[in-house]
Structure 1
C-alpha cells in the first residue's frame, strides 16, 4: 500500500536517507582532512602520512570505528640523542677551557706526517709520493714469484688427484 507524502516531506525524507548514507560511507575509510593525510593500504587497514608534520600512523577499523595510532619514530629518538651529546660536548669543552685557558678546543690537532701534507709550488697543490726502493721492489717480486710457484704446484696437485695420480 503506497504512502502518500507531500513534496516537501518527500524531499526531507530523501535528504535524511542521503545524510545517513553519507555518514555510513564516511566510516568506510579514515578521513583525509582535505588532503592533509596521504593514505596507503596496509594489511587490514591503512598507513596514514601527515603531510604537514611527517608523522606516520596505522589506521584500522574496529567495531567502534576507525582508530589511528602513531608509529614510533626513530628520528625523534635520534634527534634527542644528538641534542644530549651536543650538550655534553659543550659541557666538556667548557671544562677543558677552564683547566687550560690557553688550549684551543675548536681547532684540529696538527698533523706530524710529512708524506700526507700537500706541498705547494708555484701556487699549485702537489702531492709527492715517494717511490719504493730497489730493495722494496726485490722483496715484492720475490713474494709474487713464491705465490705464483705455489699456485702452479697446487694446480698440478689438483690435476694429479683428479686423474688418479696419472699425468
Structure 2
C-alpha cells in the first residue's frame, strides 16, 4: 500500500531529477550568440548558417570533439568570375575604341529593299536551259492501271471475308 509520505517522496525525487536534467540539456545545446547562427540537424551532424555573413558550415562530432568545416561557396566563385569577365570586357572595349573605325566605305543609309518574292528576269545563260520530263507511255499507264485494279479487287475481297468472319458465316 502506498502511503502519502511515499507519494510525497516520489514526487520530490521526480522534481529534483527533472530540475537536474534541465541544466544538463541546456549545456549540450551550443550557444548561438544572440541569433547569429542558425542550426539545422542532418544525419551526420549539424549545418550551421552564419546569418551575418551567409557562410555555411557542416559540423560533426568526430570523437575528439565537434569540428565545423566551411562548405564551398559556389556563389562566391561565380561572382568572382563575373567580375573578371566584366573587367576583361571593359578592356576589350577600350582597345576597340583605340583602334578607330576599321570598316572602309561603310555607308550610313541602308540599301534599298528588293522584293524577294518576285522572280528576277532570267539571264541569257539561264534562258537557254530547259528541263524536259518525259511523260509515261501508254504501255506504262496500262501496267499501272492493271496493278491498281488488282490491288482494289484484293482489298474488296479481304473486306468481304472479314465481314463474313465477324457475322459468323464462315
TM-score category (smaller protein): 0.3 to 0.5
Structure with higher Rg: it is 2
Q: Choose between structure 1 and 2: higher helix proportion.
A: 2
